[in-house]
Amino acid sequence: MYGRGWSQSGANSTYYAPLMGGCALLGTATEANTQFQAAFGGTVRKLGCNVLSNARASTTTVRLRIDGADATNQSISITAGATGFFESAAADDTFTDGQKLNVSSTTGTGLSPVIKFGGFWAEVETTTDQWNAFAVGSVAAGIWMGKNTTRYCCVAGRIATSFGTTEADQQTKIRAAGTIYDPHVTVTANTAANNCSAWVRINGANEIEVSITAGTTGLFVRTDLQHRVEVDDLLNWAFAVPTEAGSGAMTVLRAGMSILQDDARYGVAAQSSYGVQWSEASGTTRYSPMFGAPGLFATESDVQVALPHAARLSRLRCQVTSFSGAALTLKTHVDGADGAQSISVTGNGWFEDVANADEVAAGGKVAVAIYAAGTSACWIYNVGLRVGNDPATPAGSMGLGMVVVT
């Protein structure tokens, strides 16, 4: 599981973050806006985080949260001024079907100094052995939609500052078949006089509806209906506010679902949805998170994840629109060096490395590197790959949970 971080200041302040999905730049004091509801129970271990900078004069504590309470064991103490990658060595914590997961960060004394997190992650082993979670989060206070409006949203990564009007840009290409369980959305404002709908869409068709009660906010979950997804299926959300009198509208902050995958070897189908605009000169190198919403960073350590479990990375892919100029090359990056996978982007459409894979040891730091052979411009969507358990690990053992973010 993975969620991008924030900058935090203030004395004895507590902010909350998704363990999967994006979060606001400065975190949030409203825990309900960061929680993911798990369809299946399991175990969490090796809670980790990346601290990019730290001017705090006292210890900051990161904790796993389950149903709005501190987990018994999983926590990290970050001493004054400490930076880098941290991982909990404490005993495992367990959660059950329907419980909500997220992360908290609590500062010590001192007002102004800031600590900046690059992200959070954990290893999750579920009772089904094949669980994968898809969740997205907004960058701030959610996305407002007026009446008579339908908008599209990715199932992994970050909700943009506005939902997409072009569905193809928001679709995730499935790389491990399975069954969708418990789709859910968090609504933070709602003045619609009629019920609104959140639809799980597969290949451009409505399949599972989550009904949002008129004028009501909070978490809405659909638990009585499941649906298959197959390899190469295109998966996304659609949100609809009905036609009505007045100025009815709703604001959606987060959306998520669980997928029970057929093959336990592929416990995670990582995806970095939500597009970024590329416009760079020849010779430029930028780095993007391997898990979650892509971004273009000059400093690789800002986007790296330290894998809590040995894993096999394969099927590096992306979707590109509005392409012009010279070719781009996307490569897996492992511990600061080019990995085995590479895709050359020469136009619009989907691009994928179907031949190569990276075997990454536990603790390996991963990202995606983007190289410009010449001046080029485009929109890059849906950077993703398939993450499998270490081949030496018996099938049925869950390596990673989900990975999504900012």
Structural domain spans, the chain: 2-127, 135-261, 268-389
The pair of three-digit structure tokens given for residue 302, joined into one six-digit string: 């800002």
Fold annotation for 2-127:
Jelly Rolls (2.60.120)
Check whether domain 135-261 has CATH 2.60.40, yes or no: no
- Can you tell me whether residue 34 is helix, strand or coil? helix
The answer to whether 380 touches 318, Cβ cutoff 8 Å, is yes
Q: What is the pLDDT of residue 79?
A: 95
Tally of CB atoms within 10 A around 395: 13
Q: What is the pLDDT of residue 395?
A: 32
Type and span of the H or E element at 186:
strand 178-190
- Can you tell me whether residue 242 is helix, strand or coil? coil
pLDDT in tens, 202-252: 999 999 999 999 999 999 999 999 999 998 899 888 988 877 656 678 888
Type and span of the H or E element at 90:
none
pLDDT in tens, 275-328: 667 887 788 899 888 775 557 888 888 888 888 878 888 888 888 888 999 999
What dotted CATH number matches 268-389? 2.60.120
Q: What is the pLDDT of residue 394?
A: 34
The answer to whether 62 touches 76, Cβ cutoff 8 Å, is yes
Question: Lowest-pLDDT range, 59-63, 190-194, 340-344, 355-359?
Answer: 190-194
**Interatomic CA distance for residues 208 and 205, integer angstroms:** 10
For range 375-383, the mean pLDDT: 84
pLDDT in tens, 334-362: 999 999 999 999 999 999 999 999 999 98
**Interatomic CA distance for residues 93 and 303, integer angstroms:** 27
Q: What is the pLDDT of residue 7?
A: 66
2 — pLDDT class (breaks 50, 70, 90)? very low
Q: What are phi and psi of 34, to 5 degrees?
A: -120, -5
Q: What is the pLDDT of residue 309?
A: 79
The answer to whether 332 touches 358, Cβ cutoff 8 Å, is yes
pLDDT in tens, 3-17: 455 667 667 788 888
Q: Is 70 exposed, middle or buried (0-12, 13-18, 19+ CB in 10 A)?
A: middle
**Interatomic CA distance for residues 195 and 158, integer angstroms:** 25
Question: 71-86 b/e with 16+ CB inside 10 Å = b?
Answer: bebbbbebeeeeeeeb
Q: What are phi and psi of 32, to 5 degrees?
A: -60, -25
Question: Lowest-pLDDT range, 57-61, 89-93, 246-250?
Answer: 246-250
18 against 72, higher pLDDT: 72
Range of 23-32, 51-60, 378-387 with top mean pLDDT: 51-60
Residue 164, pLDDT > 60, answer yes
**Interatomic CA distance for residues 285 and 372, integer angstroms:** 7
Question: Lowest-pLDDT range, 36-40, 51-55, 267-271?
Answer: 267-271
122 against 223, higher pLDDT: 223
The pair of three-digit structure tokens given for residue 175, joined into one six-digit string: 């790389």
Could you tell me which residues come within 8 angstroms of residue 205 by beta carbon, excluding any fewer than 6 positions away?
Answer: none
The pair of three-digit structure tokens given for residue 316, joined into one six-digit string: 């590096």
Residue with tokens 């993975």: 2
Same fold, 2-127 and 268-389: yes
- To the nearest whole number, what is the mean pLDDT of the chain? 81
Specify the length of the chain in residues: 406
**Interatomic CA distance for residues 267 and 274, integer angstroms:** 22
